[in-house]
Chains A and B, each alone.
Chain A
């Protein structure tokens, strides 16, 4: 398996109008390492993740550099950043079957047969082949979350951003799904940023926890 790059954030600042959210954040995330960002809802956690994808909403100001391995992401468009992201909602495309959703994440230029084969192999690995032709709306919450995760990983991202992906799940599925996510992060050695407001979401092996708003202490 190809070794993933290190994520480096250099003097990142984010503010809403004149109100600073993050000032001068410097951060290094190793492959397979998880860094958590915590803070009350509405403090700008999700906006920070979007900003790392290059999507800065109006009235927000963002500055600083984002480096991933050898690559400087700061000026790259979203499509070229090779970022994977999971949200609170599964965001499965409602007009495609489970198979279609997964196939969408496959690279261009595969034949129909190859697509089918790869998707089915993946589903087989997690013992979910029976769901292949299902309408995503008919899946259970846990199933949806897992398909969403698989879809993200299938696109072979270099960096994983998690925007409270567990908050909509019930207790039991939540802890199961957490374990699955952590295992995949370790397996694919993805540098990961996790945003949450629930300290229970933060895994034991998480190396750093950053509180938002972050106004320039010397964490690094």
Chain B
């Protein structure tokens, strides 16, 4: 009886929060503090780029407040988007990124499936090896790679150096190991019984891969695709080394080599070019993120 009385008296008493909710409140405050700090830190450069891209060269070099646009102009955008050179860079970058993504997926999906599911001699070592190759920095690789391509060119007479399509061979050395590694993780998380069920249902390995694994591991596939695209789109060192003619350049190298003339920096156009160049990955992230997160939380086998 006494407990009932206390319970009834409950609402009239002053509500005290337990230590749990106090801890939680503090944790939230700290989270927000650091999140805001983080947001400022990472959003300041793009905001500054946007501001600068809307200024004329005269205003940029004038001693006014760099954080404000006094005479906004779209001239930088108009100039770049009507320049054949810039559009050429954009086209080169796009075709390279798209083809590299396709090549990467065609190699790393079957590779990851084999490494995750088909137990064969040395498969575990091979899986680790695949990842280790990713750890070798490109700054270490570009000279040997250049040498290799030069030798191939000498031997076969096929021109590879200073052609945009050379990047289709080079970029997968960066994307395939990492994407394979991601996909191994995703495929390994699919319960073994699922492919055994498919096997009993009469599916071949290829059918198991295409009809069960790829649909089930779609979030992982999307993550790998985003990664491969971003790497190909943003890669700087390799295109700088392997391509030199203006019509063969991709966006990151093109912007820096054509818009910086000697010690003259065309800041307005550099910022505009960088912003425009950042747009495709942003759009892809925006579209696929929802799908990616939805995929992450869906479809376990039991519950």
Do A and B assemble together?
Answer: no
